[in-house]
A and B are shown apart, each in its own frame.
Chain A
Amino acid sequence: MGCICGARGRENPHLSRLGEILDKHRNDAGFLIPVLQEAQDAYGYLSEDVLEAISTEMSVPLSQIYGVTTFYSQFRLHPHGREIIKVCHGTACYVSGAEGITKGIAEELGIKVGETTKDRLFTLESVACLGCCSLAPVMMINKETYGRLTSDIARGVIKKYE
């Protein structure tokens, strides 16, 4: 991470959308997490540039921002695939064979959990519970949830996104 004194901010056209987000939350108490969430929605992940700009503009030490981003599993500090596959490994999914689903997808895509395919199409993740336990095993691709999976169904769903 660079130092926080540099006034890299809105002059960077890449960061103009961030400016809008910051303006919206400028007067909110507890703005940091919503700002990070919206910035991540806008840019896909939280780059150093973005974090530094938030720090300077909102007068929050970069160390504090880094502390928050690394605490919550939702925040990403690195680019990820276009589609994020979250395979549920919650209790209901676990006893219904989540391991097999993940294994099948990992084989299909040739990556491990936490990795992104070379073509940057897919990132494979494992999550705790998607709240859809009665259809276990379950996975979520972006905001779509798929239930009653088998390894083959899961592979089929992924093909739709290729």
Chain B
Amino acid sequence: MNAEASAIRAQPLPGDFAIWIFIFAELTVFGVLFAAYAFARSAHLELFNAAQLGLNRVYGYVNTLLLVTSSYFVARASLSIKAGRSTACGHWLVGALGLGGCFLVVKLAEFHQDFAQGITLSANLFDMFYLSLTFFHFMHVVMGMAILAVVARKAYAGRYSAADHTGVETGGSYWHMVDLVWIILFALVYVIH
């Protein structure tokens, strides 16, 4: 590798270092939840397979597309601000927020249908995991949107620049984490059976 390329690679983590402590802590939390799900499933295979059929997988699929795209918009926001275009950055972030909002609406519709079907925390072990995992993630989406909203406002107010845009990367990194976790959750809970 030439010196130039290794210089690119030596960059610090994007955004504030503190958010990365939090991201790694959150990833640990989700990791433990995923492991618990996987092993609970091994111990109650029949039950999981039967109960999993009660889910409408399309909700999960649509929500993955929404969240991945939203994450992409945030990546574009970060590119925009690096090119010094604050307004474009703001627009991308608002787009991401809109998609995040759609995610919440779809998820709420799904919850609504779940409850109508009698899916509850006490119904069975799968339903318990499904509801707690997705609700816990839901709260993270809400939290991530709150952060993105603050960042978007600041972007429109011209508080970031090509030289100084740590805030965008901090909020963005958190949002990508929320996306990353959902990608795994989607595969684990909706797809793999």
The finding on whether chains A and B are genuine partners in a shared complex, rather than unrelated, reads no
